Amino acid sequence: MAYDETSQQKRLAARLIGVGGALPKQVVTNDELAARLDTSDEWIRTRTGIRQRHLVSGDEGAVSLARDAAKRALENAGKTAADVEAIIVATSTPDQVFPSVAVRVQAALGMERGFGFDVSAACSGFVYALSMADSLIRSGQAASVLVIGVEVFSRLLDWEDRSTCVLFGDGAGAVLLEKGAGEGEGILSTHLHSDGRLGDLLYVDGAVGCCSGKVALKMQGREVFRHAVVNLAAAVDEALETNGLKGSDIQWMVPHQANLRIIDGMAKKLALPSDRVVVTVDRHANTSAASIPLALAEAVEDGRIKKGDLVLMEALGGGLTWGSALVRM
């Protein structure tokens, strides 16, 4: 939704004050996958843009990655865990069914107050969580919210299925939102969509107590690609129209990192030059709910995205779910 703001709502609008990312230590290249699977670096690079991915090893997991990304976001914002009132974690790969990753991170950060919960919206999870956090702040329920996207998709993959296992990676990204955005600053709009009729295009069986078969991600890649192109284009139009903007007003696109061909298509639609699009899919592969905050963290930390820049985020994933967020940094 977008906001027809009263002065009360303006006072509570959310601004983004810190970002941080965390990646597992282990890097696996396409060539390493090709050594044990019927695939090639050439196929993976030309079809997806991916060159390598980070995968968890040892005691790394969703909570440790989320905690590390959250710590960096707090540091980047000049805040401590004592300043945080709520944590929302977008993930499809928690370490446990419950408690949520969010409350584990709450404890890991040493927080003694507030609340936390997880959001399940697959690769669109970060946009969904950002929207929930914005609503909590606007409604006055929390003055500052950590929003984290974390995934350990390596747990969901069939490592013998070349059509899926080469596509994903593990990682986490976090942002800190705080109430009190100035005029035209902070989260300007979020738009969320889902169509459950398309649930079988991208899914993972294996809930507790059912589906005794192997837990593995299944995707009809070509169909998902087709829906991504159509739905993301519509989502971008919706975000622009709601805010009375043109494509040329967008300074940065920070898209979900599933496939370089989809990202390039969206950039072309906005007539954005490639150096205004943040791309990490080459090094991170598809980290699902973590991909947008990881990419944002990289571009803020290396100085590309600056305060005052207008940033468009968009994502599509299993559900199908999709959506956008427009943020003035």
- Smallest distance from ligand UT7 to CB 22, Å: 20
Interaction between residue 221 and ligand UT7 (CB under 6 A): yes
Query: Catalytic residue among 123, 231, 259, 284, which?
Result: 123
- Smallest distance from ligand UT7 to CB 95, Å: 21
Q: Which of 55, 65, 73, 228 is in the footprint of ligand UT7 by CB under 6 A?
A: 228
Q: For ligand UT7, which stretch binds (CB under 6 A), given 53-61, 107-115, 216-224, 239-247?
A: 216-224
- For ligand UT7, the closer of residues 94 and 317 by Cβ is 317
Give Dmax over CA atoms of the chain in angstroms: 61
Q: Which of 163, 237, 268, 307 is in the footprint of ligand UT7 by CB under 6 A?
A: 163
- For ligand UT7, the closer of residues 72 and 283 by Cβ is 283
Query: Catalytic residue among 30, 256, 259, 284, which?
Result: 256
Buried b / exposed e along 157-178 (16+ C-beta atoms within 10 A): beeeebebbbbbbbbbbbbbbb
Interaction between residue 166 and ligand UT7 (CB under 6 A): yes
Picking from 313, 4, 308, the residue whose alpha carbon sits closest to that of residue 149 is 313
> In angstroms, rounded to a whole number, what is the distance separating the alpha carbons of residues 110 and 129?
22
- For ligand UT7, the closer of residues 76 and 92 by Cβ is 92
Residue 123: active-site member? yes
- Alpha carbon 282 to chain centroid, angstroms: 16
Site string for ligand UT7, 167-196 (x = CB under 6 A): x-----------------------------
Q: Which of 196, 222, 273, 275 is in the footprint of ligand UT7 by CB under 6 A?
A: 222
> In angstroms, rounded to a whole number, what is the distance separating the alpha carbons of residues 68 and 63?
9
Residue 243: active-site member? no
Tell me which residues in 36-65 interact with ligand UT7 (CB under 6 A). 39, 43-44, 47-48
Do residues 30 and 48 touch, judged by C-beta distance below 8 A? no
Interaction between residue 260 and ligand UT7 (CB under 6 A): no
- Smallest distance from ligand UT7 to CB 48, Å: 5
Give the torsion through C-alpha atoms of 90, 74, 308, 188, to 10 deg.
30
Counting Cα atoms < 13 Å in the Cβ hemisphere of 271 gives 4
Ranked by CB distance to ligand UT7, the top (closest) residue is 221
Interaction between residue 117 and ligand UT7 (CB under 6 A): no
- For ligand UT7, the closer of residues 64 and 124 by Cβ is 124
Do residues 114 and 84 touch, judged by C-beta distance below 8 A? yes
Size of the site for ligand UT7 (CB under 6 A): 21
How far lies 127's CA from each of 15, 17, 30, 111, 322, in Å?
A: 15, 17, 29, 25, 8
Using DSSP bridges, classify how beta strands 86-90 and 144-152 pair: parallel, antiparallel or unpaired: parallel
Q: Is 210 helix (H, G, I), strand (E, B) or coil?
A: coil
Residue 256: active-site member? yes
Interaction between residue 154 and ligand UT7 (CB under 6 A): no
Picking from 41, 20, 104, 58, the residue whose alpha carbon sits closest to that of residue 299 is 20
> In angstroms, rounded to a whole number, what is the distance separating the alpha carbons of residues 303 and 311?
14
Catalytically annotated residues? 123, 256, 286
Residues that bind ligand UT7 (CB under 6 A): 39, 43-44, 47-48, 123, 162-163, 166-167, 221-222, 224-225, 228, 258-259, 262, 286, 316-317
